[in-house]
Amino acid sequence: MKTNYRKRELPLHLMLLPGVILLLVYSYFPMAGVVIAFQKFVPINGLFNSKWVGLDNFRYVLDMPDIWQVMRNTVSIALMKMAAGLIVPLVIAILLNEIRSALVKRGVQTLIYLPHFLSWVILGGILVEILSPSTGIVNELLVWLGFDPIYFLGSNGWFRFVLVFSDVWKEFGFSTIVYLAAITGINPALYEAATVDGAGHWKQMWHVTLPGMLPIIVLMATLSLGNVLNAGFDQVFNLYSPVVYESGDILDTLIYRIGLVDAQFGVATAIGLFKSVVSLALISISYAMAYRYANYRIF
Amino acid sequence: MHATATVGRRLFLTLNYAFLIALSLMCLFPLLHVLAVSLSSSAAASGGLVRFWPVDATFDSYRYILQKKEFIASFIVTLERVALGFTVNMLMSILCAYPLSKETKDFRSRTRYAWFFIVTILFSGGLIPTYIAVSKTYLLDSVWALVLPVAVPVFNIILMLNFFRGLPREVEESAFIDGAGHWRTLWSMIVPMSLPVIATVSLLTLVGHWNSWFDGLIYMNFPEKYPLSTYLQLMVINSNPMKLDPTNLSAALEISERTTRAAQILLGALPILIVYPMLQRFFVKGIVLGSVKA
């Protein structure tokens, strides 16, 4: 009986083998590689012969003049994106659900998902073009309306606003799908019962649709918690410039500059390790909460 | 039943239509504007005359870009990358999702494997250690550096295995009774039944590989090995217009920095604009069935 089991499961192990090997090399080996956060890492000496320096790299980071600024930027940009990214798709999904014309509904959906599939390189190029203070079409409109042109990507006051706005613009369509699916899953009998009880459209929205979506809203909110230190490398990297470091520099862009531009591998890895550990803790908490309150399991 | 719509209701519906259509146009107009700029003459573009329709329409910027050796080279690198990466990713997704979709009683090590995969999305070594792994396996400057480190897409695997689980178990059981093994069941029963999720994951994979630019930037030491997205990142985003020699470009070819940029942005987005509408109808279904189970 036991050998029979083994024989039946052997193909399954074989199917997983290539994936396991690749993950070992490119995910688990780098995890072990975080030891260089505690070394004065010199590539020629390798992982095992570089000098151990204990917590020096972390101390160096804490003494960096910009680090708190960067921390504040990271957390505040991420939180603003999370809040906007939760609310906007929710509202749009409810509004979209009211549309009866299948043609309009599909057309709107097709267009609002579209930016999700374009990279920040492409969207960055587009934003630079339309937001340009001299020739951009947005500023042209502002001037036409009687305002002064705004240098959106070169002003510390506006930069974060552009980050949050453009992030929502890129991603809201995608989250809208999930909310729409949740609305579709609400039992139609509840609406009929509400109608019988004399509830109009607004009351139905408030007392049937929203409560029906609550589990998925809680789920999306908890799952996004793990991203508190992810303010979006691709986006910031493609939009920022030294002028707006003050308001836009985030942990990931700082790691890039310290690690690959200045070649201070130990220091960059130390910041990366800090970020990973905090994110891991937040993700674990959020998954535990999602499991408990929304009965969510990833597998 | 709905005939008795009140005035307020009708007003709301009208405003709702107007708002949502405006919103979707907001997702389209920036692209249209860039398209119009790319097709306009450089004089019109730099004069700020272009809105959503080309002024003095010309294909000069496209002609200029398509003549550039670097553009063509990076385009070929991208094709190679997308072909290799797509094949490897899809193979890995299907091969890993199938065993992981089994019940624990049918595959006793399932939970251990599941954690092995999940840990990699919870914790990562970060930029520098990953770079070291790529260089230690001699992948720097090879197209495989853009394929192997991302070969096992755990998120897509989760999407796929959730879909596999929703398939009726009887199909699999009858396949086993007819003497089919796991391999055969997977390829001739499960995969053909899973087209929505496979189409979804295909779209995500194709778009992912086409759009990736950062790995090209760090793993390639020679610009001629950059994939298109990396090339665009450097040319369109990172290059300072003042550093280029404007007289050289515009005098010879009557094209401006601005129209060339716009044309490059559009060429970079073009394949997605073509593939996306074709796969879009599958992907809503695939995402919903794969992710929302509560």
pLDDT in tens, A83-129: 999 999 999 999 999 898 989 998 999 899 899 999 999 999 999 98
Q: What is the per-residue pLDDT across B151-169, written as a single tens digit (0 to 9) for each?
A: 999 999 998 998 899 888 8
Task: Chain A: give the shortest CA distance to residue B75, in Å.
Answer: 15
Q: Check residue A3 and give its pLDDT.
A: 58
Q: Contact A195/A189 with Cβ under 8 angstroms?
A: no
> Higher model confidence: residue A63 or residue B238?
A63
Measure in Å the smallest separation between the Cα of B153 and chain A Cα atoms: 9
Residue B27 lies in a domain: no
Task: Compute CA distances A173 → A117, B67, B154, B236, whole Å.
Answer: 10, 37, 23, 26
Tell me the mean pLDDT in the region B107-135: 92
Residue A294's pLDDT is: 72
In this structure, are residues B55 and B43 in contact, taking their beta carbons and an 8 Å threshold?
A: no
Query: Higher model confidence: residue B214 or residue A3?
Result: B214
CA distance A26 to B249: 43
Distance separating the N- and C-terminal Cα atoms of chain A: 29
Mean pLDDT of chain A: 90
Count A/B contacts: CB-CB distance under 8 Å. 255
pLDDT digits (tens, 9 = 90+) for A229-268: 999 999 999 999 899 999 999 999 999 999 989 999 999 9
| pLDDT tens, position by position, A51-79 | 899 899 999 999 998 999 999 999 999 99
Among B23, B126, B236, the residue with its CB nearest the CB of A273 is B126
List CB contacts of A165: < 8 A, sequence separation 6 or more.
Answer: none
Asked whether residue B107 is assigned to any structural domain, the reply reads yes
- Res B251: pLDDT: 39
Chain A stretch 217-276, residues whose beta carbon is closer than 8 A to a beta carbon of chain B:
219, 233-234, 237-238, 255-256, 259-260, 265, 268-269, 272-273, 275-276
Nearest-Cα residue of chain A relative to residue B207: A117
Contact by Cβ (8 Å): B147, A25: no
pLDDT band at B291 (very low <50, low <70, confident <90, very high): low
- Tell me which of B27, B106, B155, B156 to substitute to probe the interface with A (most A C-beta atoms closer than 10 Å): B27
pLDDT score recorded for residue B156: 92
* Interchain contact, A16 vs B113, CB within 8 Å: yes
Of A153, A133, A124, the C-alpha closest to B48 is A133
Q: Span B177-194, mean pLDDT?
A: 91
Q: Which of A129, A178, A256 is the closest to B34 by Cβ?
A: A129
Residue-level pLDDT at A232: 93
How much is the average pLDDT of B189-206? 91
| Structure confidence at residue B122 (pLDDT) | 85
Inter-chain residue contact B128 with A181, CB threshold 8 Å: no
How many structural domains compose chain B?
1
Alpha-carbon gap, residue B16 to B12, rounded angstroms: 6
Task: Return the SS3 of B163.
Answer: helix
pLDDT of residue B179: 86
- The verdict on residue B21 lying in a domain is no
For chain A positions 76-95, those within 8 Å of chain B (CB to CB) are: 92, 95
Chain B residues whose beta carbon lies within 8 Å of the beta carbon of residue A276 = 123-126
Instruction: Give DSSP secondary structure letters for B19-72.
Output: HHHHHHHHHHHHHHHHHHHHTS-HHHHHTT--SSS-SS---HHHHHHHH-HHHH
Q: Are B226 and B220 in contact (CB under 8 A)?
A: yes
Q: CATH number, domain at B83?
A: 1.10.3720.10
Angle formed by the axes of helices A56-63 and A265-294, nearest 10°? 90
Q: Please tell me which residue of chain B has the smallest CA distance to A114.
A: B27
Q: Are A224 and A86 in contact (CB under 8 A)?
A: yes
Domains and CATH numbers, chain A: 1-54 (no CATH), 64-293 (1.10.3720.10)
* Other beta carbons within 10 Å of A229: 19
Q: Name every chain B residue with its beta carbon within 8 A of the beta carbon of A129.
A: 33-34, 37, 258, 261-262, 265
Chain B residues with beta carbon closer than 8 angstroms to that of A36: 128-129, 132
Residue B32 lies in a domain: no
Q: What is the pLDDT of residue B290?
A: 57
What would the mean pLDDT of B179-184 be, rounded to a whole number?
Answer: 90
| Predicted TM-score (pTM) of this structure | 0.89
The torsion defined by the Cα of A231, A237, A243 and A245, in degrees rounded to 10, comes to 40
Task: Output the CA–CA distances (angstroms, integers) from residue B121 to A244, B59, B152, in the order listed.
Answer: 31, 45, 11
Q: Which of residues 160-199 of A touch B (CB under 8 A)?
A: 169, 173, 177-178, 181-182, 185
Residue among A9, A104, A272 minimizing CB distance to B17? A104
Q: What is the pLDDT of residues B42-86, one digit of tens each?
A: 888 877 788 888 988 889 899 999 998 999 999 999 999 999 999
Range of the domain at B206: 68-294
> Which residues of chain A lie closer than 8 angstroms to B264, CB-CB?
125
Q: How far is CA A65 from the centre of its chain?
A: 27
